[in-house]
Structure 1
Amino acid sequence: MSAVSIHNSDSLSAFMACSTQWRSVGTKQGVLWIGLDYSACRAMLDAHEFPIDVLKDFPAIEDAVLPIFNDADMADAPEDEDA
């Protein structure tokens, strides 16, 4: 597990500010998290006055959390009775 350092704390704070900007789709198994809406994130970053260069770190953070989001949601989903 990697730690948040002083060098990436702005990127993590900006990523957390975009926590409401996820694209998702509902399935029989639960919610499938697709990824961030980067246009909406950019507007959020501007509104909160984050430096725009933090966006370059978002794909790495997003790649790390997507499997966790999707595994957690699918683990809580009811079993498909048609299967």
Structure 2
Amino acid sequence: MDKREPVKVDNDLASDFAQMGVTVEVTQTPENEAFDIMAKNNNSMLTWLNVETQWRVLASMAGLIWIGLDYSAIDVALRRLSLPDAVFGDLLVMEEAALPILNGGE
């Protein structure tokens, strides 16, 4: 598995989540679907993919509630990768866009 690629939810993964009582939508995208990233956004996008496991999530009777990124873990990643401060700002913008989607609002 390429850690730079987002995980796609297939029927097997959806079944695993269902056993935990969580319903997830199966990803139905063509394998050849691609998009371009502007060169100036490359560090931000690669960092986003590298920190995709650093979400703070609350489990409740209603399901998962995505709270936001764990900023202390993000800070470690940014320092270890020697990335500029602007990348953190980009991650905040991506986090703000992702939260409504993760929480089922969009």
The answer as to whether partners of 1:22 and 1:36 remain within 8 angstroms in 2 is: yes
Deviation per CA, 1:5-46: give whole Å up to 9, x if none: 222121111111111111110111111000001111111222
- The total of aligned residue pairs comes to 70
Distance 1:4 1:61 in 2: 14
Unmatched segments (≥5 aa) in structure 1: 73-83
Distance 1:4 1:66 in 2: 21
SS across alignment from 1:19: coil
Distance 2:37 2:97 in 1: 13
TM-score of the superposed pair, with normalisation by structure 2: 0.57
RMSD of the TM alignment (CA)?
A: 1.9
Partner of residue 17, structure 1: 50
The one-letter amino acid of 2:58's match is: V
* Runs of 4+ off more than 2 Å: 45-53
Matches within 5 A, 1:1-83: 4-71=37-104
| Greater relative contact order, per chain length (Cα 8 Å cut-off, separation 6+) | 1
Unmatched segments (≥5 aa) in structure 2: 1-35
The one-letter amino acid of 2:99's match is: L
Distance 1:37 1:48 in 2: 17
Identity %: 36
**Structure with more helix by fraction:** 1
